[in-house]
Amino acid sequence: MKALQLLDISVAPDLHELTQHGTPVFPCAGYDEDPGKYLVGNIPWHWHEEIEVILALEGETRVLCGETEFLLHPGEVVFVNSNVLHKLKRGRKDFPCRINSLLFTPEFVSGFPQSMIQQRYIAPLIRCSALSEVLLQPAVPWQAEAISHFRNAFSAFISDRYGYEIVVQIELMQMLLAILENLQDRVCESPLMQNKDATRIKQMLGFIHEHYAEPLTVSQISAASVISESECYRCFRKVLDTSPIDYLLQYRIRAAAGLLSGTDRSISDICFATGFNSPSYFAKVFRQELLISPRKYRATYQASSKEDSNIYSIRNA
């Protein structure tokens, strides 16, 4: 199977990623990519039912999981549990990085529904808030073993060898076994409860994503989660390390970048369609975010897309 490099992801208002990873009969997908190649230079906040395992290969990759942040160096891995809000970007904006990742449903490694493996190991794992994310480093022996199993799984995934599907499943199960054996004291029996701030963030981001083209205030954004403006500022800063208005501007720029790369609409039209009321201000914010003008971005991105089309498969928005 071929590992994909994507250029954008599509999410629902609550940040649930909409794309199916893998197929119903083989619910596992592999990616070989640089988050900096996405529309606005990062893989934006999202969550999915699939477990995701990310290996840094080149450069530095920043992985944000809710309130936790990792700076991955080559050889390090992050395990991101099912339904965990996360974002990926280059460690340094102007320096490329490369990651390999596998996304797979919990059922892929649990066997049939209500199996002993599912009940005793996988269900407690995906419910466990203490294991929302796990950093694996090669300097720790058991973690090096888990990383090795992931590498074997990824190598099998991208191969055409007979029985690669079996190898992928076995190696991922071995990786999870290494994690569970060494962190079993952290596996809790109680259901994973959504962090209150993360729940509020999902509500407010959903509101922003639905209404970003309209004039918005912090008061309106905070009302989406029925909290005060000051609590809204605190929540954004704690979970996303940004302010509500800065996030709104970043989302508008992301929407504008998608229109610039995917349509022939005029830059002025795109400016007003994405919530900006001044083409000069739009150009200023766009350049601050992406270090390039809207016009040059369109030309560069469209040229790059033509070149990459012969190499990469691109997810439909």
> Could you report the per-residue pLDDT of 81-137, keeping only the tens digit for each?
999 989 999 999 889 999 999 999 999 999 877 889 998 999 999 988 889 999 999
Query: How distant, in Å, are the alpha carbons of 43, 121, 263, 302 from that of 298?
Result: 19, 48, 9, 6
Residue 37 pLDDT greater than 70, yes or no = yes
pLDDT at 304 over 70: no
Q: Which pLDDT band, with edges at 50, 70 and 90, does 192 fall under?
A: very low
Percent residues over pLDDT 70 in the chain: 92
For residue 230, give the H/E element and its range: helix 229-240
pLDDT of residue 317: 36
| 194 has a pLDDT exceeding 70 | no
State mean pLDDT over 223-230: 94
Q: Please check whether residue 33 is in contact with residue 58, taking contact to mean a CB–CB distance below 8 angstroms.
A: no
Domain 196-308, CATH number (from 3.30.365.10, 1.10.10.60, 3.30.470.10, 3.40.30.10):
1.10.10.60
Q: Would the pLDDT of 236 be above 80?
A: yes
Report residue 100 as tokens: 């390999």
What is the model's pLDDT at position 314?
37
**How confident is the prediction for the chain on average, in pLDDT?**
88
Residue with the two structure tokens 């050889």: 75
pLDDT at 9: 85
In angstroms, the CA 209 to CA 283 distance is 21
Does the domain formed by 28-186 have CATH 3.30.1330.60?
Answer: no
Angle at 256 between CA 250 and CA 262, to 5 degrees: 135
Average pLDDT over residues 261-278: 93
pLDDT in tens, 241-266: 789 999 999 899 989 988 998 899 99
Q: For residue 183, what is the enclosing H or E element? A: helix 164-183
Is the pTM of the predicted complex or chain greater than 0.85? no
Asked if pLDDT for residue 306 goes beyond 60, the answer is: no
Q: 204 pLDDT exceeds 70? A: yes
Which residues, including other chains, have CB under 8 Å from residue 199's CB and lie 6 or more apart? none
Mean pLDDT along residues 207-212: 92
Angstrom distance (rounded) from CA 169 to CA 114? 18
* Residue 1 reports pLDDT greater than 80: no
Residue pLDDT, tens place only, 63-75: 999 778 999 999 9
What does the domain layout of the chain look like in residue ranges? Answer: 28-186, 196-308
